[in-house]
């Protein structure tokens, strides 16, 4: 199993950024996926999750209305569209794979993360 995030970088407050996570080595379309972030000096925070089929999505209150999670199961890619970003969105963003499939399980595989820095 491999998960590889991309798309991070430096962005100004109020702007947009799209993160991607490419999955390989497993049946991507069968697994729920989650974005988890680690902000400087803070702990792990799940940000957004999407069920295997893509029809059900979930968001932490801190990003609701600003972030959108989606997936392209034909390309084995998970996305996180980040709009109207704020300074406190600065973090390393990880994608993580559900262990068993689509049950809201623990995460058995994680990407290496992509750093998003929001600053003016």
Q: Which residues bind other proteins (CB under 8 A)?
A: 34, 36, 38, 43-46, 49, 51, 56, 58-59, 94, 96, 99, 103-108, 110-113
Compute the least distance from the CB of residue 86 to other proteins, in Å: 20
- The rounded distance, in Å, linking the Cα atoms of 18 and 7 is 6
Residue closer to other proteins (CB basis): 26 or 110: 110
Residue closer to other proteins (CB basis): 16 or 88: 88
Note the Cα 54 to chain centre separation in Å. Answer: 13
Compute the least distance from the CB of residue 110 to other proteins, in Å: 4
Q: Tokens 């970003």 — which residue?
A: 85
Q: Within a 13 Å sphere around the CA of 18, how many CA atoms are in the beta-carbon half?
A: 9
Compute the least distance from the CB of residue 15 to other proteins, in Å: 26
Residue closer to other proteins (CB basis): 26 or 58: 58
- The rounded distance, in Å, linking the Cα atoms of 24 and 83 is 27
What lies within 8 Å, CB to CB, of 3 at 6+ separation is 21, 22, 23, 95, 96, 97, 109, 110, 111
Residue closer to other proteins (CB basis): 5 or 89: 5
Compute the least distance from the CB of residue 27 to other proteins, in Å: 18
């Amino acid at each position: 199993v491999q998960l590889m995030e991309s798309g991070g970088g430096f962005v100004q407050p109020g702007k947009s950024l799209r993160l991607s996570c490419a999955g390989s080595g497993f049946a991507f379309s069968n697994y729920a996926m989650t974005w988890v972030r680690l902000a400087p000096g803070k702990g792990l925070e799940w940000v957004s999750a999407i069920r295997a089929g893509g029809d059900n999505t979930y968001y932490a209150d801190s990003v609701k209305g600003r972030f959108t999670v989606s997936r392209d199961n034909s390309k084995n890619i998970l996305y996180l569209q980040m709009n109207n970003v704020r300074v406190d969105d600065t973090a390393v963003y990880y994608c993580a794979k559900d262990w068993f499939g689509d049950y809201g399980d623990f995460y058995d595989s994680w990407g290496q993360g992509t750093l998003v820095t929001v600053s003016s």
